């Protein structure tokens, strides 16, 4: 599972300036402590269109939801889009993380892409 922008996104490439490209995002690892009142994940973004280096990492980062209230709020927003937890619980859990990650991706790329919305980012299974 990964995220993929369905429009080219502008990102800062350091010395060479800004680049526009399709960007993919992958969660590297997740954490949900024993009492399950928070969750988090570490991720990378890659330039999907880079011909010189198709695995080029353009950013690393992480996000957390620090309270049960934040987790529940996210769940309430996306519950209609989640798979049935009774038929495939691992997919259900993984999808919850990617829904939170999709919001993180919008937040991360919005400064250089002001009109960006979650509809511009697909979850690919």
pLDDT digits (tens, 9 = 90+) for 59-98: 999 988 888 888 788 888 887 887 777 787 788 888 888 9
- pLDDT digits over 2-33, tens only? 999 999 999 998 877 899 999 999 999 998 76
Q: Within a domain: residue 123?
A: no
Would the pLDDT of 42 be above 70? Answer: yes
Domain count, the chain: 1
Which range of residues forms the domain containing residue 30? 2-113
Residue 37's alpha-carbon distances to 43, 60, 70, 110, in angstroms, are 21, 24, 9, 28
Q: What is the pLDDT of residue 34?
A: 65
CA-based torsion, 97, 100, 106, 108: positive or negative: negative
Say if 124 falls within a structural domain: no
Neighbours of 9 (CB within 10 A): 24
Q: Look at residue 121 and tell me if it is in a domain.
A: no
Instruction: Kindly state whether residue 63 falls inside one of the protein's structural domains.
Output: yes
Kindly state whether residue 25 falls inside one of the protein's structural domains. Answer: yes
Task: State the pTM of this model.
Answer: 0.86
Q: Within a domain: residue 73?
A: yes
């Amino acid at each position: 599972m990964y995220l993929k922008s369905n429009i080219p996104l502008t990102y800062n490439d350091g010395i060479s300036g800004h680049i526009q490209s399709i960007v993919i995002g992958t969660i590297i690892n997740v954490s949900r402590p024993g009492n399950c009142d928070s969750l988090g994940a570490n991720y990378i973004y890659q330039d999907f269109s880079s011909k010189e280096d198709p695995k080029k990492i353009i950013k690393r980062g992480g996000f957390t939801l620090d309270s049960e209230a934040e987790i529940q709020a996210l769940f309430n927003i996306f519950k209609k889009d989640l798979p049935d937890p009774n038929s495939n619980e691992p997919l259900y859990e993984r999808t919850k993380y990617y829904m939170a990650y999709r919001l993180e991706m919008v937040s991360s790329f919005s400064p250089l892409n002001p009109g960006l919305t979650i509809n511009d980012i697909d979850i690919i299974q």
